[in-house]
Amino acid sequence: MTARRLAVGADGWVAGAARIDSPNRDARLPGVEPTLVVIHGISLPPGEFGGDGVLRLFTNTLDPAAHPYYATLAGLRVSAHFLVRRDGALVQFVSCAERAWHAGVSRWRGRARCNDFSLGIELEGTDATPYATAQYRTLAALLRALRARYPLGAAVGHSDVAPGRKTDPGPAFDWDALARLTGARRLPAGASGPG
């Protein structure tokens, strides 16, 4: 199978990604470029894949009456730059030139507010469900494209920037597989992490 090629345009949008604009974004501070990738895991409803729950959450169109869990998300305003579906399909919600609202209260290497200097990539999955091979392939291609445009350092989990508050992408995420595909490295949270 041929490796997927992606490219980030000058406007921060990735050619080859389906574009669904999220209103949950704002401007980055002047002169601040993304230097960190935060990898997340998400499924809506929890443990279910392939629906439109995540798309609706990130576009503020999630019906709280459509599923009992959705009522707990009513009024939540969140987004990520990207979503990688189980089949490897890539969706982009926010330009990389803008700040997506994905990390929440967070800290990495002494810097708070990780949204200011990071890119958020959601993988459709759960902490305990192995992620799909197609997702790793798309994630690897995306990381290569992002690294070609931005001065990115490590790729880390949401749990690394918000320990005790978040657990994703969870133990089911295979960091070694990602490293084999891209050379991207996840710095151990305890050694050089959030502090």
Q: Which residues are catalytic?
A: 122
What one-letter code names the amino acid at 68?
A: P
User: Which region holds residue 43: left if phi is over 0, alpha if psi is between -120 and 50, else beta?
Assistant: beta
Q: List, in sequence order, the alpha helices (H) in the chain.
A: 53-58, 133-149, 158-161, 175-182, 189-192
Q: Which strand (E) or helix (H) includes residue 111?
A: strand 111-112
Token pair for 25: 């974004």
Nearest to residue 141, comparing CAs of 116, 126, 121, 111? Answer: 121
Q: How far apart are CA 53 and CA 50, in angstroms?
A: 9
